[in-house]
A and B are shown apart, each in its own frame.
Chain A
Amino acid sequence: MADTIIQGVLLGGLYCLFALGLSLMFGVMRLTNIAQGDFIVMASFGAVALASVIGERPLWIALVLLPAGFAVGYLLQRYLLNGTLGRDPLPSLVVTFGLSIIVQNALLEVFSADPRALGSGGLNTRSIAIGPVTVGELPLLILATALACTGGLQTLFSQTAAGRAFRAVSDDRDIARLMGVQADRVYATATAIAFALIALAGVFQAMRTTVAPADGPMLLLFAFEAVIIGGMGSFWGTLVGALVLGVTQQVGFAFDPGWGLWFGHLVFLAVLVVRPQGLFPKTKG
């Protein structure tokens, strides 16, 4: 049982990385990125493609993909998604849904439907023993990265001038502009950070397992469930939500290999029914 829970926590670390970008974009802009999962898969394929050029060196690949993700996110928000923001959430949902379809089909066209993976130089097969439990080095690295990213985002938001601007724009865009905040650039920066996290999640996903162009919606679902369970707009909440989802899925798998995802969905629905605002809600309205 202890092993199951530890494996679940490790899986939750990955889900946390899937979900942080979604949580960030929703928290700052009330924008739900339907293409979140597809962009993660795109980053995975980007990593695979890059590996064929510079070799299977995950660190170098990440060093290229993270800034690239940051730039893509900034430009995407500045020149496309900013135009969809407003009181009505529908335009942004429709546009990111459209992006999801475009990304999936572009990946299918370029890479075919075959699953691919990124060699991690043995990292995904090495493990260390902690007491009676054996833990994979890669999942441990992913969990540590997720914790660092969550803590980093929380610190950015609560301790820095940029973070204050993020929260102020989220609270009241017009008044934030009266203070001198350039809302369009703040939004673009938020999405840029979200896409750097997406790139990171994509690299890890490709190292951990195989990826195929149609995987995106499933990853979006996990990310979405983690954000909802944790409560919209709180990064620690997203982390806890991701851990709850990971542990629940692992417990389900332990009962029956077919039950894992189903158990996760059940907990998600239970939270929606019992505590629809999530475990640690921050966002009002």
Chain B
Amino acid sequence: MRGAVVRTHALEARYGDAQALFGIDFELAQGELVAIIGANGAGKSTFLKALTGLVPVERAAVHLFDEAIGGLPPELIVRRGLAMVPEGRRLFPSLSVEENLRMGSFARRAGPWTLDRLYAMFPVLKDKRRSPSGALSGGQQQMVSIGRALMSNPAVLLCDELSLGLAPVVVKEIYAAMPAIAAEGMSIVVVEQDVSLAQSVSSRVYCFQEGRVSLEGPSDRLTRAQISEAYFGT
């Protein structure tokens, strides 16, 4: 795919002696929403960490806008337009809601996302902006985590397990914000355990299995049987 926003080629990653990713080829186009599914330990989170610089990888294995960025420190990668909503939300506990959001704009990238715009999208956060982040419900914390990532005005938003530990109705509310986020051409990657949810929100799906891509295709054309085989390797 020419002009891919994010492209990985033969991406490998390891934690010490344990190899977690075995040659991932991945592409993400401008404005595309891609879902990554797979069982626990398939390497989905490691893949996102490899993109953001939290896990060391080969320089040429990751390209952002046709520039090799693999293994750069995370603080430089975010300045080039890649932001992550980490698994488990990971808000800063000693910072208030608004301070958490302001931390998102630390990289000072220009763009449409501002505090006002976030508060318009998630009005409940405005009411709680002075609360400590730990005082919020899980869903509200997830909104803060998404908002914090958006505040860096990224070109690519990586979301790791947005639905983790949240009630289905809350998950639905969170995903309802995605079209508004994607409206201005932002490319989005969601890692998701819930396969049918992943299919319904994305245009393309990658399935990971034991550190490899076991299946890739348009979300609406993959069959249950295909996914089941790619998921469990049966």
Contact = CB atoms under 8 A, between A and B. Distances in A.
Contact of A161 (B52, B53, B83, B102): B102
B86 A164 contact: no
Contact of B152 (A171, A179, A284): A179
Interface residues of B, number: 25
Nearest to B102: A164
Given A178-B83, A180-B79, A284 B102 contact: no
Contact of B92 (A172, A177, A282): A172
A6 B83 CA distance: 54
A175 interface: yes
B75 A168 contact: no
Contacts of B104: 179
A23 to B, nearest CB: 15
A180 B92 contact: no
A164 B73 CA distance: 20
A174 B78 contact: no
Nearest to B93: A171
Contacts of A164: 95, 99, 102-103, 106
Interface in A170-213: 170-172, 174-183
Mostly, the A contact residues are helix
Contacts of B102: 161, 164
Interface in A72-127: none
A168 B152 CA distance: 16
B31 interface: no
B90 interface: yes
A165 B86 contact: no
Contacts of B152: 179-180
A183 B74 CA distance: 10
B115 to A, nearest CB: 14
B103 A168 contact: yes
A181 B94 contact: no
Given A164-B99, A180-B107, A174 B93 contact: no
A179 B95 contact: no
B92 A175 contact: yes
B198 to A, nearest CB: 23
B94 A179 contact: no
Interface in A253-277: none
B50 interface: no
Contact of B90 (A165, A172, A181, A182): A172
A209 B107 CA distance: 47
A164 B106 CA distance: 10
A168 B73 contact: no
A284 B52 CA distance: 27
Contact of A174 (B54, B79, B99, B108): B54
A176 B86 CA distance: 11
Interface in B91-146: 92-95, 99, 102-104, 106-108
Contacts of B79: 180
Given A161-B106, A164-B99, A178 B94 contact: no
B148 interface: yes
A178 B95 contact: no
A153 to B, nearest CB: 15
A277 to B, nearest CB: 15
Contacts of B106: 161, 164-165, 179-181
Contacts of B53: 177
30 contacts: A161-B102, A161-B106, A164-B95, A164-B102, A164-B103, A165-B103, A167-B94, A170-B94, A171-B92, A171-B93, A171-B94, A175-B86, A175-B90, A177-B53, A177-B54, A177-B75, A178-B52, A178-B75, A178-B78, A179-B75, A179-B78, A179-B106, A180-B79, A180-B107, A180-B152, A182-B73, A183-B75, A282-B94, A284-B93, A284-B94
Interface of A: 161, 164-165, 167-168, 170-172, 174-183, 282, 284
